[in-house]
Amino acid sequence: MDRIKRLRKLAISPEVNYNAFYYFFYKKFFELPTEMDVQEKYAESLYYSFENVKINISDEELIVGKPEYNLSEAEKKDWEENYYPDAQKNVNKMGPGQDSHMAIDYELILNSGLYGIIAKIDNYMKNCTPDKTSFYKACRRCLEAVIMYSERYAAEAEMQAQSSDVKRKTELLRLAEICRNAPANPANNFYEAVQAVHFVTHCVTVIPFRMICQQFQLGRPDRYLYPFYEKDIKNGAITKEYAQLLLDCLGIQINHRVHSGLSSGYMVGGRDENGNIIENELTLMGMQVVDDIRLVYPSVGLCYTDGMDEKCLEKACEILSHGCSHPAIFNDDIISKGLVSYGVPEKDSRNYIHSTCVEITPVAASNVWVASPYTNLAQVLLDVMDREYSDFDELLNAVFANLDAGIKRNYEVEMKQRKTRCENSVTTLLSCFVNDCLEKGTDIERGGARYNWIMPSFVGAANLTDSLFAIKTLVFDNKEMSISEFMEILDKNFVGYEELREKISNKIPKYGNDIDEIDGIFEKIINHIVTECKKYECMHQNGRLVPSVFCWEMHARMGAETGATPDGRYAGFPLGDGSGPCQGREFNGPTASVISSTKWDHHEMIGGVAVNMKFSKKVFTAQSYNVMMGIIKTYLERGGFEIQINVTDKEILEKARKNPGEYKDLVVRIGGYSDYFVRLSEKMQEEVILRTEHCI
């Protein structure tokens, strides 16, 4: 563990910078003929980049492959003055949109190796039409680039070995041997498999036509790594402790690959394509990584299914009770049901990933744009409070009509962006690892992937629910004010109306307390969103609108731009942090909260459902542990999609706010992802502190 402690120090605040890759890529790209096919041009430029970027192996690393951000002063000046401006113009031409919310085909990589994929490409090329030839040539060249790049890592490891002590020399020489075999060839053992998984992920993260941070997920390692682990353990080739060390090193490397404030990791557990429950040693060890390294990544999800051994959920709860923000608990059966409802075959519905926060995408087959875009549900209400209504139903219909118009506008924007990307962009290396790109001879950007969903996310559903109920109570039931009078109060941010705000906040019931009338409003909102999204089809195969009610950090961003709302929320304060109750409104305890959060059907919200709960660490006991287990089980048994737990204390958070240097590695759950508390904005820190802290 001393090694892990030293490596994690380097990973708490790493510089995640791909400018060196982009520099060499565009240096070659702009030298090549303009009339050259863009796919082949992309591949040659990527090869040049991997051939020239510096190799980065830190002391004590056992898993290698991370961005080298150092350019010489001359190269940096050359990039900034001569290449970056035109590179950015090229990126702008590709258009906006999403990337990397997916996991690639790791089983293909480990079982075939890149040479095996090249052999498949050669077979496709024998019978392909001329218009597919450039795609296949480009794919082949990109795979050769990764093989060459891995060879360069092997050579660097051998060079470092010459000046290392005996122990490190042995490690480096073994690492060189591994890099020369995998990922070029099928993995022979567990170590090679782990290294190949990380290395290819590191390589696909370099997407020069986008030049933004990518968040590729590692899929289901307790499935694709387990055969290698089982064989090595049986043969005595590896110990469980060393395997855990390699997994910990893999987790650390994610932090060098992905900026904090995003989300990248993997899932464990669930059922396989034959319906068999996955619960092996790697299931537990994959979760243990979170406790061992205590960094913002990996974002680990436990897929819980009926019949799973209690030890898996117990392990997750044990880690959470230590103050870690992962694992998040996902309902495998509900998610599988939801995927099937959107046309995914039953066997494929068990192989999915939380593509960053809680958005679900099928593994190895997706070009899904998640959270595209976010919709501010609180603002949807405020927009229609410009007139009076005869009754509550008329108001609700106006809200839904405004919402529908927004969904249509957003759909049209997303379709234009998809079309732009399709016409201008390619991501050739990535296409080699995503079904059905090679089979079709079509880049992922041009419709090669099997699933091409767009996932709009709806933020502030609890605010909308509580606001509607407050209006119903004050305007239509009690007739204390008109809509216009209420709006005037909101425009003043409740200044001079503190008693009214106090009444709204503490006397009028809220969503999250097992009150059917209010929870029923939330259900109506969700059902309407699902029904409306089903009306739209997107371009490419299996193109659908698939909704979600999670928020990443958009509840804070949108809240900052939103005026006061009828639920008593002040202007500028973050909206609700997911699909559970708003901050501080769980008056009837955690059980009532999860009951409210599961009165509506979650399974068609495959775009993601996030329910956050916070428990007090200072009063957490063995009995608390059992209560937490019971609450999670209740949530899952009632059809809950995903639940996230923070076990922390307000006092600790306040200390971290005052002395950030002493709490640099304090990780908290936000709205579907985790982040370092001290790096959050002041408003976001306040929002986390104000969340209801249950004592159990």
Query: Where do the domains of the chain lie?
Result: 17-212, 216-360+610-696, 374-589
- Nearest to residue 513, comparing CAs of 461, 460, 575, 591? 591
pLDDT of residue 61: 98
* Long-range pairs of 82-86 with CB within 8 A, sequence gap ≥ 24: 83/23, 83/26, 83/27, 83/30, 84/22, 84/26, 86/26, 86/30
- Nearest to residue 372, comparing CAs of 420, 418, 423, 431? 418
> pTM, whole model, 2 decimals?
0.95
pLDDT of residue 615: 82
- Please give the Cα distance from 355 to 370 (Å, whole number): 8
Residue with tokens 């998640």: 370
91 close to 82: Cβ distance less than 8 angstroms: no
pLDDT of residue 344: 98
User: For the chain (length 696 residues), average pLDDT per consecutive 10?
Assistant: 93 94 98 96 98 97 94 96 97 95 98 98 94 97 98 98 98 98 98 98 97 96 98 98 98 96 96 97 98 97 96 94 93 98 97 95 97 96 98 98 98 97 97 98 98 97 98 98 98 98 96 97 98 96 94 91 98 91 89 95 96 78 83 96 88 87 83 82 81 68
**Other CB atoms closer than 10 Å to residue 318's CB: what's the count?**
16
pLDDT of residue 619: 59
Q: Is 264 left (phi over 0), alpha (psi -120 to 50) or beta?
A: beta
pLDDT of residue 229: 98
581 close to 596: Cβ distance less than 8 angstroms: yes
**Residue 206, Cα to own-chain centre: how many angstroms?**
18
* 3-state per-residue secondary structure call for 390-426: CCHHHHHHHHHHHHHHHHHHHHHHHHHHHHHHHHHCC
556 close to 672: Cβ distance less than 8 angstroms: no
